[in-house]
Amino acid sequence: MKTLTNNLRLFWQGALLSYVALFHWMRPIQYMASKILMPLAQMFFFVYLGTFATSADNRTFYIVGNALQIAAVSGIYGMTMSIGGDRDNGTLGYIFGTPANRLVVFMGRAFMNIMDGALGVVIAFTWGVVLMGLDLSNTSIPALALTILITTISTCGLGLLMGCLALITVNVMFVNNFVYFMLLIFSGANIPIAQLPAWIQAISYVLPLTRGIAAARLLVGGAGLLEVTPLLLGELAVGFVYFLVGYILFTVFEVVAKRRGTLDVF
């Protein structure tokens, strides 16, 4: 019981403190501006570009795809800085030196980014309804909320892996930007998966977001939760694999760092 209590305390304190530290340079008004304006800017660009290039009838396709894709902002950038930022801030050695449960530390770092990412997606859908005419009258809102949550979890799994890579490279932001913009194409957010080359389609289905975006589009079109359950389970499985690989890499890096005596430079 004492171990469980300690782990729960570590989880919540780690979740809150790491999140506050991640945005310590931002005032609340700046944070809210980024959460509100960034989704709007991305959606305006891709929705109107997409409908101009194809047809106004495809508006829902681009709105839903880019709204879900906003999860990658917290999933990729937030998780990377929550994990990899410890090296830059000189706190990595303290984490490796503590006897705290590494899995609990990992989950705590991910929790607030999952909530933050889901909030960003909700804001993006709100813009879609208010400004771009997205019709959710035939949509099961609870099922869509579940889809948003699962997709954000899956995306944070990839971000966790990217955070581990941040421990061994100084060019992590270049890699993050590459992955983020790759997801704009490979996830089907702006280009139908069926129109992509076969080798890109194969990559698309081992990445997060792909199944979540497909499920959200079906739900907005009137499908029920049972119809999209296979897609959601697949999305959750993809996220779990990334979480698992990221956690394994983190433990490997820790062992190597302690063996070499290089906790801050690999």
Q: 264 or 110, which is more confident?
A: 110
Hey, where are the domains in the chain? 2-19+38-260
Read off the pLDDT of each residue in 237-264 and give the average, rounded to a whole number: 77
105-125: average pLDDT: 83
Query: 123 pLDDT band (50/70/90 cuts)?
Result: very high
Is the pLDDT at 158 greater than 70, yes or no? yes
- Helices 141-165 and 79-89 cross at an angle (nearest 10°) of 30
Q: pLDDT-derived band of residue 266, with 50, 70 and 90 as boundaries?
A: very low
pTM, to two decimals: 0.85
pLDDT > 80? residue 81: no
pLDDT in tens, 182-199: 888 899 989 899 888 999
User: Would the pLDDT of 218 be above 70?
Assistant: yes
pLDDT band at 248 (very low <50, low <70, confident <90, very high): confident
